[in-house]
Structure formats: C-alpha cells, structure tokens
Structure 1
C-alpha cells in the first residue's frame, strides 16, 4: 500500500511520539510548588446554593468548600488545576492569583445590611477546626510558610470584604499558620505612635511591605482607606474603619519588623 508524502510524515511523527522515552533520574534543586498562596472566602449563602454556584458556574469555582453544619470538607477541583476564585488580585507583587493559589470557600452568609450597619454572621467552631486541619495538610504538602494564607479582602481590598471581621484569624495564628504580632511589642509601639502618628506615606509603605497593593502617593484617599480597613479586619477586627491610627501603625510596625 502506498501513502502520500504528507500522510507518511504524519505516521512517522505519530510513531516517534508513541516511542518517547523520558529519563526522570535527575531532579533540579531550583523548584517549589506552583501554589504559593491559600485564599480564604465566604460564600454569602447556604450550603445547597454554595454547591450549586461552585460546581455549575463557568465563572466562579474553588478547590475546596467547607460546610457549616456539619463541617464537611468538599474537594471540588484538584489542586493541580486552576480555580476561578481570586479574580483581579495582587499580593506581594504577584497578580491574578488564580494561577498561583488554592481557594477555600467557607459556607457563611457574610452579612446583612441593617439600620445600624452590617450584621456579620459568625463561623462555627467545627468549621474552623476542619479548616485548620485542611490548611496544615495543604501547607505541609506544598512546603508553604506561615504568611501564605490570605483573605479575599487582602488580595482584592477595593472590591471584596470576605472572610470578614468575624473570621478568627487569631486561631490560625495559634495553630502556627499565620504570623501574629506580640502584644507587648504592639503596646510599646502604640505609645510611641500616640505621641506622633506617622504620615500617610508611611502607612502606605508599611502596607505595601506587608503584601498589599496600595497607592504610594501619600494621600489618604478611598483606595488607601480600603486597604487599611482590610488590614484592620484581620488584625484589629473590633474597629476596621479604615482610619490610620496609633494601634494600626503599631501592628504594622511589629509585623514588618518580624519579617525583617
């Protein structure tokens, strides 16, 4: 049987591909996990609706979902694949974090708007217990260090507020998962800053050092306030009004000094 030159070339290439041998006896030292961050979210709705949104939509998805009652952990996407959870985002200079992060959604209604402001919904103890076990497992497998865990509000402070001010970041710190400032050091810095508060450029620089995308023009605009509020929700959730004050400055100073 005779074949055309084009078909003969195709069959030859197909045969070569089928015979491909890959030697895996060498390994480069210069490598780490593609996953550099873990991003925490709340779903703003109940479990059935959360599962529907995260499994049937082409626009939003997440690697994991943790129910509220019971605190079941659902894996919706393999960690080797990209999920659509972070969107337009930035942390430590890295942008569009879908490609370098694992997304975890927690079933939580977020907040409702009332005449007295936003009423936030708490997370269940068992839900956070399950989250901590999951986080430890992910961080161990990917070789991630404390500080790799961020909230959606950290990486997109101009448009997101989840996981919100009732998310217990201190519990993650107590489990060794995120850095937490020493209370005595914060108190000492707060007294210093109460006498003389740094200017806005200082706050912007410190927030940028910590990881946030923030303006560097020295003006207290709404964008800067949103970033301050995101930081406060994480480390000073009792008051997250976006105002640069002595306690916020002290928290930033201690955390960034610990990073040095």
Structure 2
C-alpha cells in the first residue's frame, strides 16, 4: 500500500515537472461569443509604383531594404505576388496622412506595381506607361481585397495622396478612371463639373477656399491662405488622379470645378460594377 501511494506521488510530481507552472501552459479559450463592435484592421488600400524592374523590385521588397508591401504586381509577364500576410504590417506608406488618419502602415494594405516611374527629358517629365495586362491584375487584386476587408471606395488611394510632394506614385500615367469605371472608387460627376467649370472661368476661388476644400477631401494641408509649395503639390496630386492631362499644380477653372464637385455632397459618384462572369 505504501509503495502504491509513493508511486502515485512520484508520478504526480513528474507530471507537474513535465508541464511546468500553470502560467506557462497553453490557455484554454472559449470562442462561444463574438462582439458586434468590430471591423477590419485594413481601412485603406494604397497603390505604389516601384521605380525599378522586376528583379530589383523583388529584391528590395523582400530583403533588408527596410521597405515592403503586401503585394507586388509584375509587369511582364503580369502576375500578382504576395510578400506579406495581410494580417501583418508592411512598411510601405512611411510618414502619411489621409482624412484624419496618420501613419497608414498600421491600417492599410500596400500594393507595389512594377513600373519605371518618371524621367526628366528635354520635353519635360515623362512617366512610364502601365501595360493593360498588369492593370487588369491590379483591378482584380484591389476588388478582391476591398470586398474581403470591406475597404471603403474612398479609401482606395495612391501613395502621393497620403504624402503629396514627397511622393508621386502611382503618377499621372496610372489609369484611375478605369478603377472608377469598374465601381472601385468614386469619381466627380461630369455633368456637375461642366456646370461648375463655366462659373470658375469667370472667377477662380481664393486660396483659403482651395485649402479648405482640399483638406476636407482628405489631404494634409495647412490653411495658410497663401499659394505655398505644399498647396501646389496637393493641387498637382489631385490633378494626377482626376485630370492627368495637365498636372502642373496651377489652379484653373476645370481643376476648381473638380475640387468643388468632389467636396460637395452627391458630387462623387460610384459606378455600378460590371457583372462578373460565372
């Protein structure tokens, strides 16, 4: 009897030693309940270009270059590569701001697009085009992420939107209008823009109005009342997306009309996405 008791005690002691203290054991978690008060950590999708070819882009984004992205979209052949899990933070946005949100790395999915960017020529700055096959892949990827993560259409933005002046990507050659036509992002109502343009051809709004409207739209812009460098950079960034034929940063009647409509209730329209093929 004594031997049996001693054996049991030794067995219990060995068992305790094997499992260790209780606080080191794996917790038992009950998943029976779920709160309704939640949303996705992914609030934004930010689009970039790499300014590098495929091989260099892949190397920079996957090695010790202190920069990364969740996805890399190749140009030739077109294809999508995931580099960072969506549940983890990629280092793509840097110092950033949009509509009151700062440091967007923590709340965004970053998509890098292989593209040479721009080069200065005797004829001015020239931006490299994006192959349509590559854009088709980006469209599919953005739609998939936005649907799964429930990203708002107005939160699908460019790197230059969140860092105007400091960044130009994805640049004026990027076909944002295709994303609007696909029902992924809102776009200024063309009819309202045409009406407003006539008004602004007679007199342009002052700088205070301009800075207030651009700030309301989402840009990080100071209300200085002066046409300073940042204001010019923000105008140029806005033009790159909505009027890429001329992104000089100079306020004209068409740009004023676009800004007015974009910041007026009911001015930004979201197209009905085309039906998907079965």
The interval holding the TM-score normalised by the smaller chain is: over 0.9
8 Å CA contact 1:161, 1:230 repeated in 2? yes
State the shift of 1:132 in Å. Answer: 0.7
RMSD: 1.7
- Gap regions ≥5 residues in structure 1: 1-9
8 Å CA contact 1:179, 1:255 repeated in 2? no
State the shift of 1:98 in Å. Answer: 0.6
Map 1:31-50 onto structure 2 (within 5 A): 31-50=38-57
Cα offsets for 1:62-101 (capped at 9, x unmatched): 0000000111100000001111100011001111111111
Map 1:115-154 onto structure 2 (within 5 A): 115-154=122-161
State the shift of 1:11 in Å. Answer: 9.7
- 2:113 — aligned with what? 106
Give the Cα separation in 2 of the matches to 1:17 and 1:140. Answer: 39
Which moves more between the two structures, 10-19 or 74-83? 10-19
Give the Cα separation in 1 of the matches to 2:247 and 2:21. Answer: 62
State TM-score, norm by structure 1.
Answer: 0.92
After the TM superposition, which parts of structure 1 deviate over 3 Å for at least 4 consecutive aligned residues?
A: 10-14
Alignment pair present for 1:235 and 2:254: no
- Measured at CA, do residues 121 and 19 of structure 1 come closer, stay the same or move farther in structure 2, by a change above 3 Å? closer
State the shift of 1:120 in Å. Answer: 1.1
Which moves more between the two structures, 245-254 or 20-29? 20-29
8 Å CA contact 2:67, 2:91 repeated in 1? yes
- Measured at CA, do residues 11 and 248 of structure 1 come closer, stay the same or move farther in structure 2, by a change above 3 Å? farther
- 2:8 — aligned with what? none
Map 1:89-104 onto structure 2 (within 5 A): 89-104=96-111
Give the Cα separation in 1 of the matches to 2:43 and 2:26. Answer: 35
Larger Rg: 2
State the shift of 1:29 in Å. Answer: 1.4
8 Å CA contact 2:52, 2:114 repeated in 1? yes
- SS of 1:202's equivalent? helix
Alignment pair present for 1:70 and 2:77: yes
Which of 158, 169, 178 is the matching residue for 2:185? Answer: 178
Alignment pair present for 1:254 and 2:254: no
State the shift of 1:254 in Å. Answer: 1.2
Alignment pair present for 1:199 and 2:203: no
State the shift of 1:12 in Å. Answer: 9.4
- Measured at CA, do residues 20 and 245 of structure 1 come closer, stay the same or move farther in structure 2, by a change above 3 Å? same
- 1:6 — aligned with what? none
